[in-house]
Structure 1
Amino acid sequence: MVMIAMQSALLGWHAYRSSPVSDEYGHFYAGIRYWHHGDLHSFNVNPPLVRALGTLPAYLNWDELADFTPSFDMIDTLRSGALSRVSVRSEFPFGRELYATAPKRFQQQLFWGRLLVSLFAVAATVAVFRWGQTLYGVTQHNPSARKLSPYGSAIGLVAAGFWAFQPQVLAHGSLITNDIAVTAAMLVSSLCFGRWVRSLHWQDAALGGATLGLALSCKFTALLLCPIYLAFVIWRYCSTRQPRIIGQATLALAITLLVIALPYGFDGVGKPLGELKFSEDALYGQTNDEIASRFENAWFGGIPCPVPEQYLNGMDRQQSDFREGIISYAAGMNTTHGWWWFYLYSMLVKLPTGTLFAIAASLLYLIGRIFDRDHRWSISLDQVLIGCVAAAMIEITAYKSGFAQQHRYILPLYPFLFLLIVAPLARHYESKPGRIVNAGILVGLLATLIASIGIAPHWLGAFNTVSGGTENGHFHLFNDATDWGQDNDLVAHWIATHPQHRPLKLISSTGLGMGIREAYPEFAMLGRYNDPNQKWLIVSKSDLSRNPSLLHSLPTEPIEPIGASHLLFRVDNAAVPPIR
């Protein structure tokens, strides 16, 4: 309970002090459109469940939102084909415009929505603890007895602690985005699925189907669970030859599809696949009716669609993003495509040093077991399942390398990784090497907690000491890893309370896009000081990453950081770069 209370307090703190981040404008606008107009198309690259939950307080308490209409129309621009598919996400500028009309009201309602969504992070903490407790609490001498040892709860707490106090979990867990929600749902789904595969009870099959449907309703990332589950079902059937497995799997699938369809209001469920029309195909046409369905003449065109139409439409739109690529940055390199190693690299620089130390200690334990000829392996079904999900997350992120700019996409790996790295604690070592490994894991947890508290509440832009620390994070990653707009209020307050730093220029394009500068009078005032004699410059770390010429034109050391996302420089007249 102490851990849950601490995590909840930290999540609430970040939810309160963080400005809306880049993606939240789109999520908020799309969520409001969902509640007031039943709009399923806006932000359809993610299912509507999480944004609906995150905007429920605004829907209940902000009546004026029902009448909000953006002051500009992008439809004609989209149909003209002048913009690429990646850049035509109208929910983002519309959400920014909504924020600019009432920043304080927007932030207030966003805070309550963030608190609701942060329950996913807390639920994942409970799930990690429970799974670690049952997984490693089994006695080593009689694993089939399912008798919990006195160490089971302690091991579960260690695994849960690595999750609960991760800086990126605290940061993303308190935003109305999908990443922590799908992570928690995938974890709970895997826990319930493993229970069903062991027990083969009908109620466990039903629960497994419901939790898989919940995961698939949070984000398309959860689709990677489907082939893994299918493989385990086939293995279980082949090993037992029990016909009820087929019936239970069918029940679970039916419940999964039902849960997926609920947030969509069953829109398009049962529609022949040959009649489906995808928004990406219609983008360059005059009207959607003039675009022929890509499946119109396919052999499966008459098969009823088992999921909502916009569910498939969103997946198609997301794949278009992967194919076209987006500006990517890592390790000082800019490109329009990604790298297979990006997410492994992002973990290397973002995970706290203590967590990396614990991972290294656990790997040493594994290597020692491999070379121990007297060792007899005893791996449970749950451990195999956890390992399969972890390996699949690494594989899918390496394969989907169309762009590399969002560290948060690897977050679903975290709880499964933490459940694996605490495995050595389940063995009661009497040897010195064994005690060193276990001590290393516990020290790693303590160091993780200290590092997380030390950087609070700037978790979103945190980097470990191995990478050079948070102050040097912009040399490694950008976007959601450095400046995602979380410090807009902080930067505005700093400018207002430091009038001696004039003339002053602000370069911050990632967090301060269309419609956002207008919401801050502090930023608007900077225009009068935008002249060749400027001596002071505030730069977003994301802009430093994306613009090497800007970075090289500045002094080597900044005067001071502003939060974890911006830096203050004093520059000579000739060194002032142009505003981008």
Structure 2
Amino acid sequence: MWQSPTSNEPAHLASGVALWELGRFDVYRVNPPLIRAIAAIPVMMNGCKTHWNNLRYGPQVRSEFAIGADFVKVNRLDSVHLFNLARLACLPFSILGAWCCYLWGRALCGSLSGFLSCVLWCFSPNILAAGQVICPDMGGASLGLVASYTFWRWLKALSWESAALCGATFGLALLARSSWIVLFGLWPSIWFVVFLLQIQKNGVSTSLRSQIGQMTLLFGVSLYVLNLGYLFDGTLMRLGDFEFVSQRLGNPQPDARSGNVFKDGHFAFIPVPLPKEFVLGLDQQKKDFEAFPHASYLRGEWRMSGWWYYYLYGFLVKVPASILCLVLISICVSFQKLPRIELDHVAGWMSLCLPGLATVVILSCQPSLNHHFRYALPAFGPLFVFAGSIPFTIRRWKQNLRLAVIALTMTCVVSLITTTLTTAPRFISFFNLVAGGARQGHRHMIHSSLDWGQDLYFLKEWLQQQQIDQPIHLAYHGVFDPADIGIDHVPARCGPHWMTSASPDETSDLWVISVNYLVGDRWRLSPNCHYEEFLRKTPIHVCGDSLYVYKIPHDRRE
């Protein structure tokens, strides 16, 4: 808990508190409610203060960030403790992911591979970064792994009990991450391929009617769990009654905030078996993907359109080089003579890998929102299981060659553990050696891959060590006032943090600038203002990896 609340955490936590206190599912609707609801439980039990004056409702209304800033403001220094409680409540999702990686690896390749897959999960900086914050990325990735595992178990058992269990885990995954809705199309496709392979292998058709019935039960249970998580709010609402904001579903007129392309069509009277806010959240995400109002950044370039290879590039610079080496080794040994793979294992690898692969493909097809590499987190579990399959693949090789591969594998594992321990606790800003490390990360990616507003505690600690008692000039790329957690500052000239304006105070020689602003981010900055000029100067200190401290005397300011 060494890192200050990130830009999204106050919004998630305040939205979770609003869910319990006000029964509002519309706040932060782009994310399903499960993770924030769990995070808010210990906070509510601890007696947090709330302030709802900025809470609004309506099409295109996004009040979660305003109420998140209000939450920090009314709780002030107590918010540090509250965020720690909320983060601890989300920690079991990381453990769940590690356990599921072990289950997947053991089932597909044996206990040793399961252990190796679990180690890769536990010591991955990307996993540790997502696991220490209040966001749905970790919970969604872990529950997605569980759902895929239970789906594979159903394919093996083909029983009504396993179908019901799979439906329940699928529903929980949907309550954590709405993008798992792709499984409604992907799982029937996997089942059909496996069904055809079974016919080819056995020469006879198995119980098709029973399998279709079980899959119907599976999806029925998942929809029930999903709607139960929303307390059936707006379930079975008619399609024509929704107020959509995306061009694809709403096509709103220039003078309107919402619309509905189905309103006067033949499908208007169809009841939608999904919660109202779940549907509207998907629509809001679609709108963001259609035309996100902020430019994306990659390798020193800003674009409104983004890059289709953004996430692929992210894997090359954000994933530890040792894990990339293990994946490369696994690919190389797979080209050798493979052990015979049973049909159950073919179904297992499809069930494991295709959902994560589909996530990356869908994200790559929506390049207008290239801000967060963490969106690709569902692909990490399958990646670790694949990398952990090396012992299984080489188990029948000649001893000398097998020992050489094992030695290389162990070298990579030791390197990973060493890298992770030396990186701690700055996992969010991790970049591998190929990218030049975190201090060169701004040459590749920013936002939640480098500067997510997480380093205020490091700044506070440094100010105390230096015994600096005068206010500093602070341009902080975050959504709440750093003064609320005890950082004495004056707003820098271009608009430093949420809902503040620049201050004329010129008494301090210290300027602290978020690296996002240093490379040209314009989010919430005053017109025609920028901080790129500071990159030509040498900072006297870097707090964490994202807050650069400059000492600029009055007579030398540009």
Q: Normalising by structure 2, what TM-score?
A: 0.87
Structure holding more helix per residue: 1
Change (3 A) 1:293 1:377: closer
Could you list the per-position Cα deviations for residues 413-449 of structure 1 after superposition, in whole angstroms to 9, with x for gaps in the alignment? 0011111112221122325444433333322222111
What does 1:394-433 correspond to in 2, within 5 Å? 394-426=360-392, 427-428=394-395, 429-430=397-398, 432-433=400-401
2:531 is paired with a residue whose SS is helix
Q: State the partner residue of 1:554.
A: 535
Q: Which amino acid aligns with 2:30?
A: V
- Taking a change above 3 Å as real, the CA distance of residues 36 and 286 of structure 1, as seen in their structure-2 partners, is farther
Match of 2:125 among 146, 167, 171: 167
> Number of residue pairs matched?
527
How many angstroms apart in 1 are the aligned matches of 2:551 and 2:358? 47
* 1:311 and 2:296 matched: no
Task: Identify the residue that residue 267 of structure 1 maps to in structure 2.
Answer: 233
Who is 2:451 aligned against? 483
1:103 aligns with 2:70: no
Please identify, of 266-275 and 529-538, the stretch whose mean Cα deviation from structure 2 is larger: 529-538
Q: Using a 3 Å threshold, how does the CA distance of structure 1 residues 446 and 36 change in structure 2: closer, same or farther?
A: same
| Aligned residue in 1 for 2:25 | 40
Provide structure 2 residue ranges, at least 5 long, that are not aligned to the other structure.
200-204, 494-501, 523-529
Aligned residue identity for 1:171: A
Counterparts of 1:31 and 1:575, CA distance in 2: 47
- 1:126 and 1:187 map into 2 onto residues whose CA distance is 10
What is the identity, as a one-letter code, of the residue corresponding to 1:544? L
Paired-residue identity, %: 26
AA of the residue aligned to 1:472 = Q
Structure 2 counterpart of 1:353 = 321
Distance apart, 1:19 and its partner CA: 1.4
Partner of 2:288: 321
Residue in 1 aligned with 2:112?
A: 154
Matched, 1:296 2:269: no
Q: Give the conservation status (yes or no) of the 8 Å contact 1:503–1:535.
A: no
Q: Residues 534, 105 of structure 1: CA spacing in aligned structure 2 closer, same or farther, 3 A cutoff?
A: closer
1:567 partner amino acid: Y
- Residue 544 of structure 2 is matched in structure 1 by 563
Q: Look up the SS of the partner of 2:451 in the other structure.
A: coil
Distance in 1, matches of 2:421 and 2:269, equals 57
For structure 1, the 5+ residue unaligned runs are 1-15, 80-84, 138-152
Structure 1 residue 129 displacement after superposition: 0.6
Asked if the contact 2:472–2:490 (Cα under 8 Å) also holds between the matched residues in 1, the reply is no
SS of equivalent residue, structure 1 residue 506: strand
Match of 2:498 in 1: none
Matching residue's letter, 1:102: N
The one-letter code matched in structure 1 to 2:463 is I
Mapped to 2, the partners of 1:403 and 1:120 lie a distance apart of 26
1:134 equivalent in structure 2: 107
The residue number in structure 2 matching 1:69 is 52
> In the superposition, relative to structure 1, how do residues 394 and 292 fare at CA in structure 2: closer, same or farther (>3 Å)?
closer
- Choose 120-129 or 513-522, whichever is displaced more: 513-522
Contact residue 455 and residue 462 of structure 1 kept, 8 A: yes
What amino acid is the match of 1:263? G
- Quickly say closer, same or farther: Cα 1:284–1:156, change in 2 above 3 A: same
Return the letter of the residue paired with 2:88. L
1:541 aligned partner, one-letter code: V
Q: 8 Å contact 2:120–2:323 — kept in the other structure?
A: yes
**Aligned residues of 1:50 and 1:218 also touching (Cα < 8 A):** yes
- Contact 2:253 2:259 survives alignment (8 Å): no
Note the C-alpha offset of 1:314: 0.5
Change (3 A) 1:287 1:31: farther
TM-score, normalised relative to structure 1: 0.83
Indicate conservation of the 8 Å contact 1:202/1:248, yes or no: yes
What's the offset of the Cα at 1:207?
0.7
Helix, strand or coil at the partner of 2:77 = helix
CA distance in 1, matches of 2:513, 2:539: 10
Counterpart amino acid of residue 235 in structure 2: V
Query: Using the alignment, how far apart are the partners of 1:377 and 1:236 within structure 2?
Result: 14
Provide Cα deviations, 1:92-128, integer angstroms capped at 9, x if missing partner. 0221122012123222222222112111110110111
TM superposition shift of 1:377: 6.3
Answer yes or no: is the 8 Å Cα contact 1:277–1:294 preserved in 2. no
Secondary structure in 1 matching 2:8 = helix
1:225 has 2:183 as partner: yes
CA distance 1:100–1:532, change in 2 (3 Å): closer
- 1:503 touches 1:530 (CA, 8 Å); kept in 2? no
Tell me if the contact between 1:554 and 1:571 (Cα under 8 Å) persists in the aligned partners: no
C-alpha deviation, 1:535, in angstroms: 4.5
1:201 aligns with 159
Aligned twin of 2:217 = 251
Give the equivalent residue in structure 1 for 2:526.
none
Q: Which amino acid aligns with 2:423?
A: I
| Equivalent position of 2:435 in the other structure | 467
CA deviations 1:117-155 (Å, max 9, x no partner) are: 111110110111111112112xxxxxxxxxxxxxxx222
Which deviates further from its counterpart, 338-347 or 56-65? Answer: 56-65
Read off the aligned partner of 1:36 and give its amino acid letter: E
Query: Within 1, Cα distance between the matches of 2:339 and 2:123?
Result: 34
2:497 is matched with none
Q: What is the identity, as a one-letter code, of the residue corresponding to 1:119?
A: P
TM superposition shift of 1:495: 2.4
More displaced stretch, 37-46 vs 102-111: 102-111
**1:55 partner SS:** helix
Separation in 1, partners of 2:290, 2:280: 15
* Aligned twin of 1:89: 62
Q: Cα offset for 1:497?
A: 3.5
1:21 is the counterpart of 2:2: no
Distance in 2 (alpha carbons) for counterparts of 1:105 and 1:467: 38
CA distance in 1, matches of 2:508, 2:149: 58
